């Protein structure tokens, strides 16, 4: 993947993330995460989303930051 393609994927991920970060706080909760993944054509059950949240919520906040979201997308997309 070229640098340009990587940048385009990051921009797309940021747009999706920002759309679902409804309060603009820089993180998304489980429901927002499920909606964001669905927007990226990744359908998951609530249990699968909860598992992802637990796995990628590195700071234990109960939400996913943009950085955590990007790490997760690399794995599932």
- Domains of the chain, start order: 3-76 (1.10.238.10)
Q: Give me Rg for the CA atoms of the chain.
A: 12
% the chain with pLDDT above 90: 45
35-60 pLDDT, tens per residue? 888 887 888 999 999 998 999 999 99
Per-residue burial over 46-55, b = 16 or more CB atoms within 10 Å of its CB, e = otherwise? eeebeebbee
| pTM score | 0.77
The yes-or-no verdict on residue 77 having pLDDT over 60 is no
Q: What is the 3-state secondary structure (H, E, C) of 22-41?
A: CCCCCEECHHHHHHHHHHCC
Reading the block at residue 20, the tokens are 């679902």
Mean pLDDT of the chain: 88
């Amino acid at each position: 993947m070229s640098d340009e393609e990587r940048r385009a994927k990051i921009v797309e991920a940021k747009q999706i993330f920002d759309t679902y970060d409804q309060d603009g706080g820089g993180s998304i909760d489980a429901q927002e995460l499920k909606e964001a993944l669905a927007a990226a054509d990744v359908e998951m059950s609530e249990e699968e989303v909860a598992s992802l949240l637990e796995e990628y919520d590195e700071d234990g906040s109960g939400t996913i930051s943009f950085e955590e979201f990007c790490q997760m997308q690399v794995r599932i997309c």
